[in-house]
Amino acid sequence: MPSLGADMEAGTLVEWLVRPGDRVTRGDIVAVVETQKGAIEIEIFEDGIVHSLDVELGARLPVGAQLATILSDGEAPPSAPAAPIPDTPSCAAVAPEMSAPPPRPDTTAPVPTGFGIAASPAARHRAAECGLDLAGVTGRGPDGAILLADVEAAATGGTTKGTPRPAATSDAMAQMRKAIAAAMQRSKREIPHFQLAQTIDIHTASDWLAARNADVPPGERILLGTLFMKAAAVAAANVKEMNGHYEADGFRPAPGVNLGVAVALRGGGLVAPAIPDADRLPLPALMAAMKDLVSRARAMRLRSSELTTGTLTVSSLGETGADAMSGIIFPPQVALLGIGAPKLRPWVLDGTVVPRRLATFTLSADHRVSDGRQANRFLAEIETALQHPEAL
């Protein structure tokens, strides 16, 4: 059971996507685990062959517990055979808290239903197996997302759309709030935060973006927030003290910038999945990655690596809202950048007061790793990047 964040202690296995004998390669999705932050797709980090699936679906296991046995080519299997995984019973015979593994996905696998509806991968697959339309199922997860248990209940004549939403919806959100509280309490208790704020003239960047977007179709336009994210990623690549993890043996700078994007869920709660190598992505690719990440976060379809590999997180208030925000660092990261809403304000330019579009960038940094000099340099790098948006 992988650790999917500093706040995770255990997870529930809800779906296997492989069978014994399957060959897997690094990056393959092999299972789905439900946590306090929703259903997460679990990736494999080694090449090999699946020898055994060692845990039954529905089991709740602590972080670090063994889920499966993967053998490298030529490796001898362990002497003790693993317990067999039971065959899949009919939909009507499945208890809400347990389901058997689906067949290995291929061209004969059921077609998922309910496109556009927020549902976990396990729920979609089970609905397809049962021929159940997700539009008729009431979700009890965060933002009303449909979970595996909701599909099982509907398949056996339980809760469906049109009946009052059960208390489990608020229970799921309460569990997410507990997870967030645990991580943030740990952060404030263990990380000596300090903050620096800088108001940056973004008028040049805003004008450049407007001119760039005028010549492209709506679907290819770039939001101002994408410029902010790219500027932050470039700054992090240049100021190593803001990009990495602080572990038991001290600070480890990251070789690349995996930019965490704070995503507010519509029903409440927050996740911060990461975009790998964000500093190297062209603006259109970064924009597409951000849209995809936000969409999947709100549909509860994130991957394990997206929740564990972030090296710096950015939290933005968008185009409207408060002037500034200072955030709490997501451990084991060592910095978090908060961006206030851009505002048109008076600004002194070449000795003259003129209206300019401004935004306040507030950096929360870990004093065990950096001090004011590095933090100031990081903000200066962002300002420089935004004065030359064409170079981003």
- Least confidently predicted of 70-84, 220-234, 246-260, 349-363: 70-84
* Tokens representing residue 2 in the block: 């992988």
Split at pLDDT 50, 70, 90, the class of 161 is very low
Proportion of the chain above pLDDT 90, given as a percent: 50
- The tens digit of pLDDT for each residue in 32-87 reads 888 876 778 888 888 999 999 998 888 888 988 999 999 998 888 887 554 444 44
Sign of the CA dihedral with 348 first, then 350, 356, and 362 last: negative
Torsion of CA 204, 207, 212, 214, to 10 degrees: 180
Please give the CATH architecture assigned to the domain spanning 10-155. Answer: Beta Barrel (2.40)
Q: What is the CA radius of gyration of the chain?
A: 23
- Least confidently predicted of 154-163, 274-283, 382-391: 154-163
Q: Are 83 and 68 in contact (CB under 8 A)?
A: no
All CATH 2.40.50.100 domain ranges in the chain, comma separated? 10-155
Torsion of CA 282, 288, 291, 294, to 10 degrees: -70
Split at pLDDT 50, 70, 90, the class of 313 is very high
* pLDDT of amino acid 27: 86
Q: Are 357 and 191 in contact (CB under 8 A)?
A: no
All CATH 3.30.559.10 domain ranges in the chain, comma separated? 193-391
Residue with more model confidence, 123 or 325: 325
Residue with more model confidence, 52 or 183: 52
* pLDDT of amino acid 51: 92
Render 141-186 in DSSP notation, one character per residue. SGGGPBPHHHHHHHHTT---BTBPPPTHHHHHHHHHHHHHHHHHHH
Top CATH class of 193-391 equals: alpha beta
* pLDDT of amino acid 139: 78
- The tens digit of pLDDT for each residue in 120-152 reads 666 776 777 777 778 778 877 655 678 777 887
* pLDDT of amino acid 35: 80
